[in-house]
Amino acid sequence: MSETPKSSRQKQKFEHALGSSDSNVAQFDHKHRSLFDTVQHFLHGNPTMVPVIVLIFSIIIFGFVAGPKFFSPFNLSLIMQQVSIIGILAAAQSLVILTAGIDLSVGAIMVLMSVIMGQLAVTLGVPAPLAIFAGFIGGIAAGAMNGFLVTRIKLPPFIVTLGTWNIFFALNLWLSGAQSIRSQTLDEIAPLLKFFGESIAIGSARVTYGSILMLVIFAVLWYILNHTSWGRHVYAIGDDKEAAELSGIRTNRTLITVYGLAGLVCAIGAWASIGRVGSVSPQSFQEANLQSITAVVIGGISLFGGRGSIIGPLIGALIVGVFNSGLRLAGVDVLWQVFAIGWLTIIAVAIDQWIRKVSS
Amino acid sequence: MKKALLGAALGALALGMAAVPNAAKADEIGACLITKTDINPFFVKMKEGATAASVANGINLSTYAGKVDGDHETQVQAIESCIASGAKGILLTASDTKAIVPVVKKARDAGLIVIALDTPLEPIDSADATFATDNFKAGELIGQWAAAKLGDKAADAKIALLDLTPSAPSVDVLRDQGFMKGFGIDIKDPNKIGDEDDDRIVGHDVTNGNEEGGREAMENLMQRDPDINVVYTINEPAAAGAYEALKSFGMEEGVLIVSVDGGCPGVLNVQDGVIGATSQQYPLDMAYKGIEAIKNWAETGEKPATTEGLNFYDTGVNLVTDQPVDGVPSISVEEGMNRCWG
C-alpha cells in the first residue's frame, strides 16, 4: 500500500490512514499449522494409519493388561483364526462400501452358500469340487442380484440388501431344515469342504489355511483396486457417481460387478467357514453382516464411499479380535467386550468425520 | 333396492368370513402355538406334536414363530393376533421370558389359557401352566454321569462351562447349575451363573447355542487352562463346536463332553464318541399334551396340574449314553435314536 505519486487517481483523505495499517490481516498462513492440524492432514492422506495406530496401541496395552499369554504365538495365531471369517466378509463389504453402498446380506450369502455346498455334497452326493464351484456361482448370482436391484431398479443399497438378507436367510433355513451337517459326516463324504480348517504348525502357533486365505483375498483385492482400471473406477464411483459417469465410466455395469465380486468373496468365505466351524451350521454367523461393517468402519473406510484402503478392514477385523482376546484373557465379562467394540465403532466413525473436515 | 344390495353385500361378507380358515367356528376350539423359531428342529417337532393333537381332538390350530431365537417383538404380535382370533388357549415358548409377561397377562385377562412350553416364564406363575423338561434335572443327570465316569479323578477335574447367551435365560441357568450340582459343586445361589468359587471350574463362556460359538468359547477357555478335561455344553451344536476346537488342539482324547437336548445329530455324536452323554428332552410330548390341556380347559374349566415337587408339569428327560455308569439311570443310543427329534 505504498504511495504511488503517479497514480491517476488522488487518494481521498480518509484513506491516508491505510498506509500505516497492518497489511497482513487477510493473508493465508501455510507455515504455522498446529500439531493437531498436521495430524489431521497426515491422516487425511493416509486414512489407514488410524486403525494401524489403534492396532499397535491395543496390542501393547493388552500385552500389559492380559499378561504374557496374550503375546504367545499360539494366541496371536488363534486371533487370526477367529477373525478370518469376519475378515473375509469385511473384504467383501469393503468393495460395496467403497462405492458408497452397504451390503447387509454378506453374512446371509455366506451361510446360504455353505449350506448349498454342504447339501449338494452330502445330501445329493455331488462331488465336493463341483459342490464348491456351485456355491461360488451361487455367491456371484446372489451378489449380482443385489447389484441389479441397486442399479437397474434404482433402489437404495440399504433397502435392497436388507431385503435380500432376509430372503437368503429364509432360503438357508429352508434348504438346511435348520439342521447342521455334522463334522463326522463331512469327514466321511466330503472332507474337501473342511480344507480351510486344516493348519500348519509353526512353533506353538497354528496357522489355519483359512487365515492364510483371508490374507490372500486382501492382497488380491488390494492389487485389483489399486492397479486395474476397474479398481480405480470403483473408487471414482464411490467418490462421485455423476462425475464418474460423465468421465465415461459405465457406472451401472461396474456396480453390478462390484456386488457380484462381493458375492463371490462371500462364497469363498463360505468354504472357509465350513473349515472354521467344522460343520455346515445354518445357525452360525447370524451377526456376521454387522460384524463385517464394524470391521470396515474401524478399518477407516468411509461409509460415504470412495475413500479408504482395502487393507483397513483387515486391520479393523484384527483390532476387534485383539480387543476380544485381550479383554477375555484379562477376565472381562462378555458383555463388556461387546460394550468396548460398540465404543470403538463410534469413535472410529467420529475420527473419520473429523478427518473429512480437513481444510486443503 | 338399496337394502337388497346391502343385504347381498353382507351375505357375501358372511360367506367370505366362513371361507377364512382361521376364523374359528362357534363350536370349534381354537388354539395357538407360538415358538421361538419355526425352523429349529426342536420347534418343528413341537409343531408336529401340536398338529397331531389338534387333528386328533378337532382343534383349530394356528402357529406363529419368531424369525430367530430372541425375536421378542414377533411373539408379542403373535399373542395379540391370537387374542383377536378368539382362540381358547396359547402354547408359548417365549424368547424373552420376562418381557413377554405383560402381554401374556393381557391374553389371560381376555380369557385365554396360556401354557408355557419348554421355557418357563419369569416368574413361572405368569403362565397358567408350564409343560417343560426339568432342565435342572437334565443338567444334574449329565453332571452325575460325568462325576461317576471320572471316579476319584472328579476331585481334581478341570471344568469348562459353555453357556448360551450373556443374558442367561432361565434354561441356561437351570442346566448350568443342575450340571454343577450333579457334579458335586457347591452352586451357592441356584439362580446365578458364575457365583461359584470351586477351584475345579476353569470358566464360563457363551456360545449362542451354535457350532461357531461353541468352538470359539472352547478356544477361549483352553487359553485360560489347557488342562480342561470336563466340558459342559448348553446344547449339542455347541458341543460339536467345542469338540472341533479340542480336535484342532489335538486334545479331543480324554476330555468328557456332556450336553443337553437329544436331537438326532446330537445322539449320533454320542454314538461317535464326540459327546459322552446327553440329556434327551421330548418337545413332541410337550406340545401334544399342551393341546390336550387346552381342550380339557375349554370343556371343563380345569387347569393342568403340576408334577409333584415341582412348579411345572415335567414332560420327562432321559440320559442317553453308550457308557452307562452305576447309580445314574440312562437309556441306550439306540433308544435315544428312536425318540430323537430333528
The alpha-helical segments, DSSP class H, found in A177-310 are 183-189, 209-227, 229-239, 241-246, 251-277, 288-298
Question: Model confidence over B307-341: pLDDT tens digits?
Answer: 888 889 999 999 999 999 999 999 999 999 999 88
Is B340 or A22 the better-scoring residue by pLDDT?
A: B340
What's the pLDDT at A10? 63
Q: Are A102 and A157 in contact (CB under 8 A)?
A: yes
User: Do B203 and B327 sit in the same domain of this protein?
Assistant: yes
Quick one: cell of B237? Answer: 451344536
Helix (H, G, I), strand (E, B) or coil at A20: helix
Compare CB distances from B219 to A78, A183, A284 and report the shortest one's residue.
A78
Q: Do the Cβ atoms of A278 and B244 come within 8 Å?
A: yes
- Whether the link from the prior residue into B265 is cis, omega within 30° of 0, is no
What's the pLDDT at B20? 44
**pLDDT band at residue B17, thresholds of 50, 70 and 90?**
very low
What's the pLDDT at A44? 77
Instruction: Point out the least confidently predicted range of A6-15, A200-209, B120-129.
Output: A6-15
Q: Please say if the pLDDT value at position B236 is more than 90.
A: yes
The Cα B161–Cα A114 span in angstroms is: 28
The percentage of residues in chain A with a pLDDT greater than 70, rounded to a whole number, is 91
Q: Do the Cβ atoms of B210 and A284 come within 8 Å?
A: yes
With CA atoms as reference, the chain B residue closest to A204 would be: B249
User: Do B275 and B164 sit in the same domain of this protein?
Assistant: yes
The Cα B287–Cα B65 span in angstroms is: 14
What's the pLDDT at A232? 94
The residue-averaged pLDDT of A193-216 equals 91
| Cβ within 8 Å of B, A 171-210 | 173-174, 177-180, 182-184, 197, 199, 206, 208
Q: Are B333 and B322 in contact (CB under 8 A)?
A: yes
What's the residue count for chain A? 360
Question: Model confidence over B189-202: pLDDT tens digits?
Answer: 988 888 899 999 99
**pLDDT band at residue B102, thresholds of 50, 70 and 90?**
very high
With CA atoms as reference, the chain A residue closest to B224 would be: A329
Q: Please say if the pLDDT value at position B27 is more than 70.
A: no
The residue-averaged pLDDT of A37-42 equals 79
Q: Please say if the pLDDT value at position A16 is more than 80.
A: no
User: Do B273 and B288 sit in the same domain of this protein?
Assistant: no
With CA atoms as reference, the chain B residue closest to A287 would be: B208
Question: Model confidence over A99-156: pLDDT tens digits?
Answer: 999 999 999 999 999 999 999 999 999 999 999 999 999 999 999 999 999 999 999 9
Helix (H, G, I), strand (E, B) or coil at B269: helix
What's the residue count for chain B? 342
Compare CB distances from B166 to A277, A283, A334 and report the shortest one's residue.
A334
- Does the beta carbon of B269 lie under 8 angstroms from any beta carbon of chain A? yes
Q: What is the DSSP string of A157-187?
A: HHHHHHHHHHHHHHHHHHHHTT-PBPHHHHH
Sequence-ordered list of residues with C-beta below 8 angstroms from that of B75, at least 6 positions apart, any chain:
B34, B36, B64, B66, B92, B94, B95, B96, B100
Q: Please say if the pLDDT value at position B14 is more than 60.
A: no
Average pLDDT across chain A, whole number: 88
With CA atoms as reference, the chain A residue closest to B273 would be: A184
Q: Which residues of chain A are within 8 Å of residue B248 when distances are taken between CB atoms? A: 197, 199, 206, 208
The Cα B68–Cα B35 span in angstroms is: 10
Question: Model confidence over A156-183: pLDDT tens digits?
Answer: 999 999 999 999 998 998 898 878 898 8
Q: How far is CA B168 from CA A335, B40, B188, B191, in A?
A: 11, 20, 17, 10
Question: Model confidence over B141-161: pLDDT tens digits?
Answer: 999 999 999 999 999 999 999
Q: Please say if the pLDDT value at position A210 is more than 60.
A: yes
Q: Are B113 and B297 in contact (CB under 8 A)?
A: yes
Q: Which residues of chain A are within 8 Å of residue B247 when distances are taken between CB atoms? A: 278
User: Do B167 and B275 sit in the same domain of this protein?
Assistant: yes
User: Do B50 and B149 sit in the same domain of this protein?
Assistant: no
**Site from B211, B269, B274, B337 to mutate, A interface, most A CB atoms within 10 angstroms:** B211
Average pLDDT across chain B, whole number: 88
Q: Do the Cβ atoms of B39 and A178 come within 8 Å?
A: yes
User: Do B123 and B143 sit in the same domain of this protein?
Assistant: no
Instruction: Name residue B33's beta-bridge partners.
Output: B63, B91
Burial of B11 (0-12, 13-18, 19+ CB in 10 A): exposed
What's the pLDDT at B23? 44
The percentage of residues in chain B with a pLDDT greater than 90, rounded to a whole number, is 67
- Does the beta carbon of B273 lie under 8 angstroms from any beta carbon of chain A? no
Q: Do the Cβ atoms of A276 and B212 come within 8 Å?
A: yes
DSSP label of B314? E
Residue B186 domain-assigned (yes or no): yes
Give the domain extent around B52: 13-133+283-304
CATH number at residue B36: 3.40.50.2300
Residue B297 domain-assigned (yes or no): yes
Identify the CATH assignment for A73-356 out of 3.40.50, 1.10.3470, 1.10.10, 2.60.120: 1.10.3470
Q: Are B197 and A268 in contact (CB under 8 A)?
A: no
Sequence-ordered list of residues with C-beta below 8 angstroms from that of B202, at least 6 positions apart, any chain:
B158, B159, B160, B221, B224, B225, B228
What's the pLDDT at A156? 95
Quick one: cell of B19? Answer: 371361507
**pLDDT band at residue A221, thresholds of 50, 70 and 90?**
very high
What's the pLDDT at A345? 85
Is A28 or B181 the better-scoring residue by pLDDT?
A: B181
Long-range contacts of B78-84 (CB under 8 A, 24+ apart): B78/B32, B78/B34, B79/B32, B79/B34, B79/B103, B79/B104, B79/B106, B79/B107, B80/B106, B82/B32, B82/B34, B82/B107, B82/B112, B83/B107, B83/B110, B83/B112
What's the pLDDT at B13? 47
The Cα B70–Cα B81 span in angstroms is: 19
User: Do B43 and B167 sit in the same domain of this protein?
Assistant: no
The percentage of residues in chain A with a pLDDT greater than 90, rounded to a whole number, is 53
Q: Are B195 and B188 in contact (CB under 8 A)?
A: yes
Instruction: Name residue A207's beta-bridge partners.
Output: A200
| Cβ within 8 Å of A, B 105-144 | none
With CA atoms as reference, the chain B residue closest to A337 would be: B166
Residue B240 domain-assigned (yes or no): yes
What's the pLDDT at A2? 46
Compare CB distances from B215 to A75, A278, A338 and report the shortest one's residue.
A278
The percentage of residues in chain B with a pLDDT greater than 70, rounded to a whole number, is 92
What's the pLDDT at A69? 79
User: Do B188 and B330 sit in the same domain of this protein?
Assistant: yes
Helix (H, G, I), strand (E, B) or coil at A124: coil
Nearest-neighbour CA in chain A from B123: distance (Å): 24
**pLDDT band at residue B24, thresholds of 50, 70 and 90?**
very low
User: Do B147 and B257 sit in the same domain of this protein?
Assistant: yes
| Cβ within 8 Å of A, B 178-207 | 205-206
User: Do B93 and B206 sit in the same domain of this protein?
Assistant: no
Rounded to two decimals, the ipTM of the complex is: 0.73
Q: What is the DSSP string of B181-209?
A: HHHT---SSTT-TT----TTEEEEEE-TT
Structurally, chain B folds into a number of domains equal to 2
Nearest-neighbour CA in chain B from A353: distance (Å): 33
Q: Please say if the pLDDT value at position B2 is more than 70.
A: no
